[in-house]
Amino acid sequence: MLRETTRKPAINILESAISQSLLIGQRFGIITTGTGFKYIHYPEVRNFLGAPSERFAGLVTTGLGVVELREGDRTRVETKVKEGSAKIAERGADVIILGCAGE
């Protein structure tokens, strides 16, 4: 919406995270909350990059809910985030984007 109302450059959270990750590493991956976001992010990443790219290692969901990130059991949340980070690192990501802006 902002892009349609201003002549100034405007990028969203995912675009800025991808841009930064491409500057500091070779491959990036995304970990996010519940499984529904998985299908939203793949087309967004592809659209931003302009094509499928080997620099995108993929996306892993933690199975956590957005509210659970903030109010859930800290040990469980940390375990799930660490597990997700390990999975995306195994796919070759040297930069990890946290795909949920809920926290």
Count of structural domains within the chain:
1
Distances (CA, A) of 9 to 3, 6, 12, 38, 41: 7, 8, 10, 27, 22
* pLDDT (tens place) for every residue of the chain, 103 residues total: 677 888 888 888 889 999 999 999 999 999 988 766 666 678 888 989 999 899 999 999 998 888 888 888 999 999 999 999 999 999 999 999 987 654 4
Residues 6+ apart with CB under 8 A from 31: 59, 60, 61, 62, 81, 84, 85, 87, 88, 96, 97, 98, 99
How many C-beta neighbours within 10 Å does residue 101 have?
Answer: 11
Whether 103 is in a domain gets the answer: no
Q: What is the pLDDT, as a whole number, of residue 9?
A: 86
Whether 58 is in a domain gets the answer: yes
Q: What is the pLDDT, as a whole number, of residue 103?
A: 40
Q: What is the pLDDT, as a whole number, of residue 39?
A: 63
| Alpha-helical regions (H) of the chain | 2-5, 13-24, 36-49, 66-71, 74-90
- Supply the range of the domain harboring residue 65: 12-19+26-98
Whether 3 is in a domain gets the answer: no
Q: What is the pLDDT, as a whole number, of residue 7?
A: 87
Q: Give dist(CA 79, CA 83) in Å, integer.
A: 6
Q: What is the pLDDT, as a whole number, of residue 40?
A: 67
Whether 31 is in a domain gets the answer: yes
Whether 55 is in a domain gets the answer: yes
Say whether pTM exceeds 0.85: no
Give the rounded distance of the alpha carbon of 50 from its chain centre: 17
Whether 86 is in a domain gets the answer: yes
Whether 7 is in a domain gets the answer: no
Q: What is the pLDDT, as a whole number, of residue 89?
A: 97
Q: What is the pLDDT, as a whole number, of residue 80?
A: 94
Look at the alpha carbons of 87, 91, 97, 99 in this order and tell me if their dihedral is positive or negative.
negative
